[in-house]
Amino acid sequence: MSETIPTPGTPLAADAAASVDGGLVHGLYRDGDKIADTAAPAGPIDKKWTTRKFEAHLVNPANRRKLSVIIVGTGLAGGAAAATLGEAGYHVKSFCYQDSPRRAHSIAAQGGINAAKNYKEDGDSTHRLFYDTVKGGDYRSRETNVYRLAEVSANIIDQCVAQGVPFAREYGGLLDNRSFGGVQVSRTFYARGQTGQQLLIGAYQALERQVAAGTVTSYTRHEMLELVVVDGRARGIIARDMVTGEIQTHLADVVVLATGGYGNVFFLSTNAMGSNVTAGWRAHRKGAYFGNPCYTQIHPTCIPVSGDHQSKLTLMSESLRNDGRIWVPKRREDCEKDPRDIPEEDRDYYLERIYPSFGNLVPRDIASRQAKNVCDEGRGVGPKVGDFRRGVYLDFTDALKRMSAEAVGEKYGNLLDMYHRITGDNPYEVPMRIYPAVHYTMGGLWVDYDLQSNVPGLFVTGEANFSDHGANRLGASALMQGLADGYFVLPNTIRDYLSHAPYPAVSEDHPAVVEARDAVQRRVDTLLSINGERTVDSFHKELGHIMWEYCGMERSEEGLRKGIDLIRSLRAEFWRNVRVLGAADTLNQSLEKAGRVADFLELGELMCIDALHRRESCGGHFRAESQTEDGEALRHDDGYLYVAAWEFGGSPDGGDTGIPILHKEDLVYQAIELKQRSYK
């Protein structure tokens, strides 16, 4: 189909652009019913949460022990929820794929956690945090949920301090905080560069305390491979014991997924090796809508790829942009030179040049895209990866002159040391090299105000849901969301669902349970029997390459169509030609990976379809066909002011992914006015 490039200021309406043929939009999906109700209570925005908590039914303490809750995931979102529901007296089963709940990937968060405490008296408030989060998300998040997030943020800090989380403190003994990610107030609480670790250890210890109390049973090295849905309700999961290979059935009154993000669909990301989409994707196949799958956050300050062997990318806190200056050579010929030999006048400090007022502190999405642009122009630095050098300098020379090496070391020492250890280069002597990397996924399973998916009894929290971050997440707000969901939101909303329990008893012989268990067994058997030529990792790398190339920082219709074709043929080859060795009844890491990659191969296609249908540039994603005259992102509120919630179109257990169905949830802003972002 032909492409119309919108002229600035005259946005292109969505429907005018979509070609519908035989009921298929763009030849790829069907339109479904709109989502009319998000279950938020009526009333002014600052009263809704109080109303909801009051209206949620209570469960008699004596009955709680008889009610069972499955929580998959032990990160901030899952760990906090399991501990809290255990304390309340419910019978909780907690699952993670690592050998201990303490190792969930929340542990890796460095920078900090936001909370509207206004300890600095600098004008912060619930409303300002709410406003910053909605604006940062480029007006693609649901107002009611974000307001609540800001509202409970202050309680999180109190709770964590009571648990013994060692936040940074001032000499007077009170908590320190800093400004982070381009906001104008100091609201980010931190524990050196290990904030995620300290918050997670707090939740983990609370969880282990409940294990000792007998309210929580912990299933480590267990991987959820299927959701059990009985009579339209989520009633349990099928999990594989990763040590013995046993396929187990776990049934309960309610199921919570807190399984983290799916950035590993790109193979290289800052996520942990095991981070995956399997739990969410299996639920999607059983009917749960997937919200905004294409919304990915690409973080500008990561250590660049050094070669083909690379297994993951390492983030360096963006606080480095406070004092480091970003540049590339003006001329391609200089790219191989020692940066110290390139004189000032031959350097292009491109962020300072293009965005004079924000300079190196522009938001993540803009910093990332401009780094890609200068590298695409052939002005990248460092080793060649494929045809291009993928790196830009982050230079501390000026800061070292201005502040002394000791002062720089005090502020950034651990980051600079980490860089030195990984690359072998000393940043006190040579400028560092950085490049953007996939870091966070704003998309995830669709949930309502109660964090319940469209499948009754299936709740989704933390990064795994489509989240409060719209099309772009502000720094230090994912930790806030995980703990808000886990400690304060879910325990209140799930109570209402459980007040109608117990739900009719389900036996392990129920046809829906047997079907789910058999499906898992069949998949394991199939993966082990293909015995083809290619390793699981080789498929994963190829998928990652396709996603990065066609569904990464900049997307176009043509590229996305190509990506979809490539993914489809790669998926077909996977099921014909993958080689998974070893047995089903032992620890088998290839088998685990194969199952995850199989699901990524389906998710990747949906991400491309979602990206293709959203013909606007917004937040973390830039659509080539939708830009202003000077190349900045152009959002189209007239056509795309909605959440795209995708329904699975294939048969739930069959191999095919079918034709996805799009349900739109219109975004209504009553407390905030819509604006185009500008950082010039």
Partner 1 sequence: MNLTLNIWRQDGPEAPGRMVTYQLADVSGDMSFLEMLDVLNESLITKGEEPIAFDSDCREGICGMCGLMISGNAHGPVTTTTCQLHMREFHDGDSITIEPWRADAFPMIKDLVVDRSSFDRIIQAGGFISANTGSAPEAHSVPVEKRKADRAFEAAACIGCGACVAACPNASAMLFMGAKVTHLGELPQGQPERYARVVKMVAQHDHEGFGGCTNTGACADACPKEIPLDVINTLNRDLRGALGRGR
| Minimal distance, residue 433 CB to ligand FAD, in Å | 18
- Please identify, using beta-carbon distances, which residue of 28 and 257 lies nearer to ligand FAD: 257
Structure tokens at 357: 């007022």
Among 38, 68, 84, 106, binds ligand FAD (CB under 6 A): 106
Among 144, 270, 453, 588, binds ligand FAD (CB under 6 A): 270
Taking each helix axis from N to C terminus, what angle separates 490-498 and 76-88, rounded to the nearest 10 degrees? 50
Interface stretch with partner 1, choices 225-233, 284-292, 561-569, 587-595 (CB under 8 A) = 587-595
Q: Using an 8 Å Cβ cutoff, are 133 and 141 in contact?
A: yes
Per partner kind, with CB cut-offs from 5 to 8 A, the member of partner 1, ligand FAD, none near residue 75 is ligand FAD
Nearest residue to ligand FAD, scored by beta-carbon proximity: 75
Among 64, 117, 372, 555, binds partner 1 (CB under 8 A): 117
Q: Using an 8 Å Cβ cutoff, are 229 and 286 in contact?
A: yes
Per partner kind, with CB cut-offs from 5 to 8 A, the member of partner 1, ligand FAD, none near residue 260 is ligand FAD
Interface stretch with ligand FAD, choices 269-277, 383-391, 568-576, 627-635 (CB under 6 A) = 269-277
Among 201, 216, 342, 479, binds ligand FAD (CB under 6 A): 479
Burial 253-264 (b: 16+ CB within 10 A, else e): bbbbbbbbbbbb
Q: Is 523 in the site for ligand FAD (CB under 6 A)?
A: no
Among 28, 72, 354, 551, binds ligand FAD (CB under 6 A): 72
Structure tokens at 566: 């490539």
Among 73, 491, 544, 559, binds partner 1 (CB under 8 A): 491
CA atoms within 13 A on the CB side of 539: 31
Structure tokens at 240: 């594989």
DSSP 562-582: HHHHHHHHHHHHHHHHB---S
Gyration radius from the chain CA atoms: 24
Per partner kind, with CB cut-offs from 5 to 8 A, the member of partner 1, ligand FAD, none near residue 553 is none
Q: Is 327 in the site for ligand FAD (CB under 6 A)?
A: no
Per partner kind, with CB cut-offs from 5 to 8 A, the member of partner 1, ligand FAD, none near residue 162 is partner 1
- Please identify, using beta-carbon distances, which residue of 175 and 501 lies nearer to partner 1: 175
* Total residue length of the chain: 680
Structure tokens at 256: 């919570």
Q: Is 386 in the site for partner 1 (CB under 8 A)?
A: no
Per partner kind, with CB cut-offs from 5 to 8 A, the member of ligand FAD, partner 1, none near residue 158 is partner 1
| Minimal distance, residue 412 CB to partner 1, in Å | 17
Among 124, 138, 151, 223, binds ligand FAD (CB under 6 A): 223
Structure tokens at 174: 């009170």
Structure tokens at 128: 């300002």
Q: Is 264 in the site for ligand FAD (CB under 6 A)?
A: no
Structure tokens at 647: 């329904």
Residues 6 or more apart whose Cβ sits within 8 Å of residue 661 = 29, 30, 31, 32, 646, 647, 649
Among 217, 248, 535, 628, binds partner 1 (CB under 8 A): 535
- Please identify, using beta-carbon distances, which residue of 477 and 626 lies nearer to ligand FAD: 477
Q: Is 118 in the site for partner 1 (CB under 8 A)?
A: no
Whether 221 sits among the annotated catalytic residues: the reply is no
Among 153, 197, 276, 617, binds partner 1 (CB under 8 A): 197
Interface stretch with partner 1, choices 199-207, 371-379, 561-569, 653-661 (CB under 8 A) = 199-207
Sign of CA dihedral 496, 499, 504, 508: positive
Per partner kind, with CB cut-offs from 5 to 8 A, the member of partner 1, ligand FAD, none near residue 111 is ligand FAD
Residues 6 or more apart whose Cβ sits within 8 Å of residue 371 = 300, 326, 392, 434, 435, 436
- Please identify, using beta-carbon distances, which residue of 101 and 382 lies nearer to ligand FAD: 101
What string marks each residue from 313 to 352 as x (binds partner 1 by CB under 8 A) or -? -x--------------------------------------
| Minimal distance, residue 77 CB to ligand FAD, in Å | 4
DSSP 358-414: TGGGS-HHHHHHHHHHHIIIII--SSEETTEE--EEEE-HHHHHHH-HHHHHHHHHH
Q: Where are the alpha helices (DSSP H) in 117-262?
A: 126-136, 143-163, 195-213
Among 482, 563, 620, 660, binds ligand FAD (CB under 6 A): 482
CA–CA dist 626, 12 (Å, integer): 9
Q: Is 581 in the site for partner 1 (CB under 8 A)?
A: yes
CA–CA dist 530, 527 (Å, integer): 6
**Between residue 225 and residue 264, which ones bind partner 1 under the rule CB under 8 A?**
243
Per partner kind, with CB cut-offs from 5 to 8 A, the member of partner 1, ligand FAD, none near residue 479 is ligand FAD
Let me know the angle formed at the C-alpha of 637 by 606 and 459, rounded to the nearest 5 degrees: 45
What 8-state DSSP symbol labels residue 191?
B
Which of 187, 285, 321, 364 is an active site residue?
364
CA–CA dist 601, 589 (Å, integer): 18
Q: Using an 8 Å Cβ cutoff, are 109 and 511 in contact?
A: no
Q: Using an 8 Å Cβ cutoff, are 152 and 488 in contact?
A: yes
Query: Kind and range of the H or E element at 645?
Result: strand 642-647
Binding site for ligand FAD (CB under 6 A): 72-78, 95-98, 104-106, 108-113, 195-196, 223-224, 258-261, 270-271, 276, 278-279, 315, 439-440, 462-464, 476-479, 482
Catalytically active residues are: 364
